[in-house]
Amino acid sequence: MVHSFFETIASEPSLANQCAERASHNNRPTRSFTQVFSIFFPEDGELDSDVETWLQVIAEGFEFDKKNEKRFTIWEVEKLFRSLGFHPKDPENLCAYNFWLYLIWMYKQLLEANYERDDNVFRFMEGCSIHDVKLVIIGNDPCENNLSSGYAFHDLVCPSTKQLLDFADNEIDLVCEHLDDYRMSLNSGELREAKEQCSLWGWIEQGVLLLNSKLTFEGDEDIQEGWEIFTDFLLKYLSDLKEKVVFLFLGMANFKKADLIYRDKNLDESYHPAHYTYTPARSTNSNRDWDEVLPFINLNLYLWQVHGFNREHVIDWSSMGWVKNRTSRRVDYWIKFLSDLTNNWRLLSRGDRRVYGDFLVGRNRSNGLLAVNIAEDEDN
């Protein structure tokens, strides 16, 4: 059950806009508050059931330092809450109030920066319930030349997303080579279509959260840091309260966020896909190079192990676009692959790489795949 304030305000967009306009001293904004945060104001006034799960988590724990905001803004938000029958200082309302004050604060900064893009801020909440998130891939910010879909990479026809799809296809091919069975691989037409559409909905439907650390493209440092107040809150929640969620941080700017993750065996770091799109190519560190880290394989390996070898938690990376037919059969191939590796592990020097669970997957000298028994490697 979502906090009643969010249910009430969803059907009162005019009140939300009035509060934002008064707080910002702007009676004619380029984009209204309800346009910028449209996901909280559906046309029929009924919040999406998945969105409600995210809002409830916010209502139970979101904090915002009110020193960031001016007194008259605080007063306007408090007045809005009271007008709808909610005392903002009551413990059951405090976090919802903090979040709304935060939204007003962000809105004011966007207005001051003349933000006019029609980005779908917070749309990632529609993809799946927060309680169904299995895996989080953290990108940087939306592309400069493309409106944000509300997700990292998804629905963005840009070099980074195309590179991400190439990496996924490459690791799928490695699995097929290991099994000597290519029925789960993408043919050239499927991969070409996936890169033309750049839709990752098939991943999202399986519980993959594609989250940018900054939710709008805007060079203003205060705005970027402002978004990270919220996305850091989500990362910490998913780490603290959902022990078996796995994280993949992409890009140097996001590596520092590893400190937010409570457990050191459920995260990995790789270069942002954009790193590989530059000409001439940039130098790479093998500990963060996609060809060495093999994140798609290792993410599945971790999920499979930590959930008690449960197939329901294995991701079918071949499902680019809408979830394809025969997903269950492709997961069967993944299980065979993961079982084969972990049942026939060999020791392999792992250097200073972060690892998952009891095993990780690396390459041997002939470029084949090996599973490493981490527990025994450490004992030795």
Range 289-294, long-range pairs (CB < 8 A, 24+ positions): 290/167, 291/170, 292/362, 292/363, 293/268, 293/353, 294/171, 294/174, 294/361, 294/362, 294/363, 294/369
Nearest 5°: phi and psi at 211?
-120, 125
SS3 call for 203: helix
Cβ(135)–Cβ(299) below 8 Å: yes
Q: How far is CA 94 from CA 37, 53, 89, 125, 229, in A?
A: 20, 18, 5, 22, 17
The DSSP H or E segment spanning 164 is helix 159-179
Q: Which residues of the chain have pLDDT under 70?
A: 145, 218-219, 253-254, 262-269, 279-284, 286, 322-323, 344-380
Topology given in CATH for the domain delimited by 130-340: Uracil-DNA Glycosylase, subunit E (3.40.470)
- CA angle 245/246/251 to nearest 5° reads 140
Token readout for 8 is: 């009430």
Indicate the residue type of 48.
D
Instruction: Provide the β-strand partners of residue 370.
Output: 362
Domain boundaries, the chain: 4-116, 130-340
Scanning 25-90, the segments in alpha helix (DSSP H) are 33-36, 49-61, 71-83
Nearest 5°: phi and psi at 12?
-130, 60
Helix, strand, coil share (%) of the chain residues, nearest 5: 50, 10, 40
Cβ(249)–Cβ(261) below 8 Å: no
Instruction: Provide the β-strand partners of residue 373.
Output: 359
Rounded to an integer, what distance in angstroms lies between the CA atom of residue 209 and that of residue 129? 10
Q: How far is CA 171 from CA 40, 83, 176, 357, 378, in A?
A: 38, 55, 9, 20, 27
Indicate the residue type of 84.
L
Instruction: Name the nearest CA neighbour of 143 among 200, 228, 214, 229.
Output: 214
**pLDDT of res. 165:** 93
**pLDDT of res. 322:** 65
**pLDDT of res. 290:** 82
Rounded to an integer, what distance in angstroms lies between the CA atom of residue 109 and that of residue 115? 9
